[in-house]
Amino acid sequence: MLNRRGFVKAALAAPFVPSLAGFLSSRAQAEAGKTLKAAPATAQLVPADVAGPTPVWAFNGTAPGPVLRVKAGERLKVMVENGLDQPTSVHWHGIRIANGMDGVPGLTQEAIEPGASFSYDFVAPDPGTYWYHSHDRSWEQNARGLHGALIVEEAEPWAGADRDLVLVVDDWRLTEDGTIDESFGHMMDWSHAGRLGNVVTVNGSYRPKFAVRPNERIRVRLINASNARTMAIGLAGTTARLLALDGMPVGLNDVAEPVQLAPAQRADLLADFAASETPLPIAVETRDGPVPIAEIVVSGDPVREASDDPIGLPTSGPGVLPNLSGAKRVELLMEGGAMGGMSGAMHDGRMMDMRALVDEGRVWAFNGIAGDMDEPLARFAKGSPALIAIRNDTGWPHAMHVHGHHFRVVSRNGKPIADPALRDTDLMMPDETIEIAFIADNPGKWLLHCHMLEHAAAGMMTWFEVA
Ligand SMILES: [Cu+2]
């Protein structure tokens, strides 16, 4: 039996932990709560004979919170109650939402104070896999468990899958006694890769098992809810096809490789599971090979004799690639971080050197400004094409997220991309330059930030206005 220290160290590093293979998830995820209460709770994140339960912050008592479901075009009303001892807010990630419901304190609403509540009320226009998460001190609140899946169902039910399997993948930094490591705000994390954890859970459980029947066709909705860990996730024993990225259909492409998800990104896979005597792992790629994070158990009577040809999702979202002639072009230079060579940046209205910036908890900059929000990056006329050229002049990957719009990466490192997918978050590698394009058709003030949450808090945040 592994001891606690060994478990936490081994959870990500070891290719297989045989003594824990029987650990079974019994989490029941409620659907469509009208109220989300953020409050302290406990969660059994690692096997009970190893450690825990872990004190977490949860929506309605579970981390992740309940799976919320709404039909495309319909209104979702959620009363968020704050049972924490610090302010909070909820961002509905990837939804082309009305600006006042976007959940960004100081930009679109006042933070929800302890004991107070806020009524979110919005139309979800596009079917797909989304998620909700804290957007106040999110580097701490998201890491403590304040997030959940938001599924926007097709207005007309899609007949392409027998059912959904929603998998919220999270990365926790735990101590050896199973409590959350309190190293929040650590400048080593903020200036490097962000807060990386040491235990990966799926739907709040360690290596849960999910039962399917032979030849059952499942829409697997993968959500990377971690603060900073990019994960390549693969399904064994199935021909999984890629259906959608960040909620938006991508056609029907075979997936030969594990699908890479940066923090906040989602992928929908269509998976047929043939009969199997042994459980089929869902695994994250690591340097030491794939590490199982969940298992599919195939049992019972076949759903059908054999799998027929799959059908793709109906197209939704913002139609065809916009005509970019006359687009307003904006440059965004990302700098800073460890080994980045940034000498200083503007903060609080004055130029600061790196030492002064570190004292302020700001170590990254956009266009020479370390996270100050007084002025927008750009203003776009409502309905006009927008083109933002983003250069990652740092030594680190970043998951660049735009609020209120889906965009297309129309070029990467100067090479045009044919038929780019609609995304709300793009993973940029060091020294990469991308151009993203979208129609700025959603009025309001919208964040553009790195979704490695420590990077956002330490300067990688700006906003633009559509009016
Ligand atoms: Cu980043």
Measured in angstroms, how far is the CA atom of residue 428 from the centroid of ligand 1? 9
Phi, psi angle pair for 20, to nearest 5°: -105, 10
> Is residue 102 included in any domain, yes or no?
yes
> HSE (CB half, 13 Å, CA atoms) of 371?
18
Measured in angstroms, how far is the CA atom of residue 210 from the centroid of ligand 1? 33
96 and 206 within one domain? yes
**Around Cβ 115, how many Cβ atoms within 10 Å?**
10
> Is residue 246 included in any domain, yes or no?
yes
- pLDDT > 90 fraction of the chain, expressed in percent and rounded: 84
pTM, to two decimals:
0.93
137 and 41 within one domain? yes
pLDDT value at 2 more than 50: no
Mean pLDDT across the chain, nearest whole number? 92
Domain count across the chain = 2
Measured in angstroms, how far is the CA atom of residue 348 from the centroid of ligand 1? 21
Measured in angstroms, how far is the CA atom of residue 186 from the centroid of ligand 1? 15
> Is residue 161 included in any domain, yes or no?
yes
pLDDT value at 75 more than 90: yes
Average pLDDT over residues 7-28: 39
208 and 106 within one domain? yes
Q: Which domain holds residue 400?
A: 328-466
**Three-class SS state of 255:** coil
> Is residue 199 included in any domain, yes or no?
yes
SS3 per residue for 341-389: CCCEEEECCEEEEHHHHHHCCCCEEECCECCCCCCCCEEECCCEEEEEE
170 and 66 within one domain? yes
pLDDT value at 14 more than 50: no
- pLDDT > 70 fraction of the chain, expressed in percent and rounded: 93
* Residue finishing a domain among 277, 298, 319: 298
pLDDT value at 16 more than 70: no
pLDDT at 430: 98
Sign of CA dihedral 371, 81, 267, 203: positive
The pLDDT tens digits for 416-459 are 999 899 999 999 999 999 999 999 999 999 999 999 999 999 99
Measured in angstroms, how far is the CA atom of residue 219 from the centroid of ligand 1? 30
What's the pLDDT band for 21 if we cut at 50, 70, 90?
very low
pLDDT at 266: 98
pLDDT at 31: 40
Measured in angstroms, how far is the CA atom of residue 445 from the centroid of ligand 1? 21
pLDDT value at 26 more than 60: no
Average pLDDT over residues 360-386: 97
Measured in angstroms, how far is the CA atom of residue 438 from the centroid of ligand 1? 21
pLDDT at 27: 33
Measured in angstroms, how far is the CA atom of residue 283 from the centroid of ligand 1? 24
Q: Pick the residue with more confidence: 360 or 257?
A: 360
pLDDT at 10: 52
CATH classification at residue 382? 2.60.40.420
Measured in angstroms, how far is the CA atom of residue 458 from the centroid of ligand 1? 9
pLDDT value at 17 more than 50: no
91 and 180 within one domain? yes
pLDDT at 353: 97
Measured in angstroms, how far is the CA atom of residue 275 from the centroid of ligand 1? 42
The pLDDT tens digits for 261-285 are 999 999 999 999 989 999 999 999 9
The pLDDT tens digits for 207-240 are 999 999 999 999 999 999 999 999 999 998 888 9
- Angstrom distance (rounded) from CA 99 to CA 448: 14
**Around Cβ 372, how many Cβ atoms within 10 Å?**
17
Query: How is 294-320 classified by DSSP, letter by letter?
Result: EEEEE-SS-SSSS-----PPPP-SS-S
How is residue 236 written in tokens? Answer: 């064994």
What's the pLDDT band for 390 if we cut at 50, 70, 90?
very high
> Is residue 56 included in any domain, yes or no?
yes
Q: How far apart are the first and last CA of the chain?
A: 61
pLDDT value at 1 more than 80: no
Measured in angstroms, how far is the CA atom of residue 68 from the centroid of ligand 1? 28
74 and 150 within one domain? yes
Q: Pick the residue with more confidence: 108 or 305?
A: 108
> Is residue 320 included in any domain, yes or no?
no
pLDDT at 88: 98
Measured in angstroms, how far is the CA atom of residue 176 from the centroid of ligand 1? 28
Range in 8-22, 79-93, 134-148, 324-338 the model is least confident about: 8-22
- Angstrom distance (rounded) from CA 295 to CA 314: 29
pLDDT at 307: 74
Measured in angstroms, how far is the CA atom of residue 316 from the centroid of ligand 1? 29
How is residue 188 written in tokens? Answer: 């080593």
272 and 159 within one domain? yes
264 and 222 within one domain? yes
144 and 193 within one domain? yes
Measured in angstroms, how far is the CA atom of residue 456 from the centroid of ligand 1? 7
Measured in angstroms, how far is the CA atom of residue 187 from the centroid of ligand 1? 14
Measured in angstroms, how far is the CA atom of residue 217 from the centroid of ligand 1? 36
pLDDT value at 57 more than 80: yes
pLDDT value at 163 more than 90: yes
Measured in angstroms, how far is the CA atom of residue 91 from the centroid of ligand 1? 18
Phi, psi angle pair for 140, to nearest 5°: -100, -45
231 and 89 within one domain? yes
> Is residue 322 included in any domain, yes or no?
no
- Contact in structure between 88 and 133 (CB atoms under 8 Å): no
Q: Tell me the C-alpha to C-alpha distance, in Å, between residue 303 and each of 210, 300, 307.
A: 16, 9, 9
pLDDT at 251: 87
pLDDT at 319: 77
The pLDDT tens digits for 284-335 are 999 999 999 999 999 999 999 887 888 889 887 887 788 888 999 999 999 9
- Angstrom distance (rounded) from CA 259 to CA 282: 11
> Is residue 309 included in any domain, yes or no?
no
180 and 33 within one domain? yes
Most confident of 8-12, 195-199, 339-343: 195-199
Measured in angstroms, how far is the CA atom of residue 454 from the centroid of ligand 1? 8
Measured in angstroms, how far is the CA atom of residue 394 from the centroid of ligand 1? 9
344 and 280 within one domain? no
